[in-house]
Amino acid sequence: MLRSKSQKRFCKRLHLVRSIKFGSCPSPSPNRLGAGVEVMDQSSVTLSSGERFEASTVIWAAGIRAAPLTAQIPAERDSFGRLMVDSDLRVPGVQGVFATGDAARAACDNKGNYSLMSCQHATRMGAFAGNNAAAELLGIPTKPYHQKAYVTCLDLEAGALFTRGCEPKVEMVGDVAKKTKQEINTAWIYPPKPHRAAALAAADPERVIDL
């Protein structure tokens, strides 16, 4: 239900595009159902129907899939094509194969939370998978993957938001959240500098970046 004038104004400028004609947006916005996005550039979106409209902010919610390479592993996969892995990120039943990042569905904790296809999960899972593959070759104990911290940081043109936890609680909004997103995108998600100490520190499975 759209109540405030500002919500109604926002929805007049909101275009919902969906390639299937199931359901519709309960708003006065112009819906484009049954047409997919063909082309996006800095200022517009062109649909498969040929229609083109101006857009300064585009939110893409089409979903993502694991790389087709996962299909070459004879093991169970989820609906995103991710390999189901055990707590050490090993693919059960396939000797010597660990899966990580977007290619794996792993339990993050013992509360029923599972990894998402995101940088923050992929970087930590990569550290555990690398550690565990090496540990297995060396015959030393492997370490169960866990994801102690989970945050979401969004920065759309109109504003920014930072939440913490799988049951998200808002911690920051506005400029401070925007600055945090910039720090994430320009520093935290990048691989370490090519120095031995920095590379080994980043590969430590127990390293937790606390924002």
Ligand X SMILES: Cc1cc2nc3c(=O)[nH]c(=O)nc-3n(C[C@H](O)[C@H](O)[C@H](O)COP(=O)(O)OP(=O)(O)OC[C@H]3O[C@@H](n4cnc5c(N)ncnc54)[C@H](O)[C@@H]3O)c2cc1C
Is 71 near ligand X (CB under 6 A)? Answer: no
C-alpha–C-alpha distance, residues 20 and 37, integer Å: 12
Which residues in 116-155 contact ligand X (CB under 6 A)?
Answer: 117-120, 122
Is 156 near ligand X (CB under 6 A)? Answer: no
Is 202 near ligand X (CB under 6 A)? Answer: no
| Dihedral sign from CA coordinates of 118, 123, 124, 125 | positive
- CB of residue 24 to ligand X, shortest distance in Å: 26
Is 69 near ligand X (CB under 6 A)? Answer: yes
C-alpha–C-alpha distance, residues 56 and 155, integer Å: 14
- Contact indicator for 55, 44 with CB cutoff of 8 Å: yes
Q: For 156, list phi and psi in degrees, rounded to 5.
A: -100, 165
Is 46 near ligand X (CB under 6 A)? Answer: no
Please work out the total of residues on this chain that contact ligand X, with binding judged by CB under 6 A.
Answer: 11
Segment interacting with ligand X (CB under 6 A) among 32-40, 50-58, 80-88, 113-121: 113-121
CA distances from 84 to 74, 134, 135, 148 (A): 11, 20, 20, 20
- CB of residue 62 to ligand X, shortest distance in Å: 10
- CB of residue 185 to ligand X, shortest distance in Å: 7
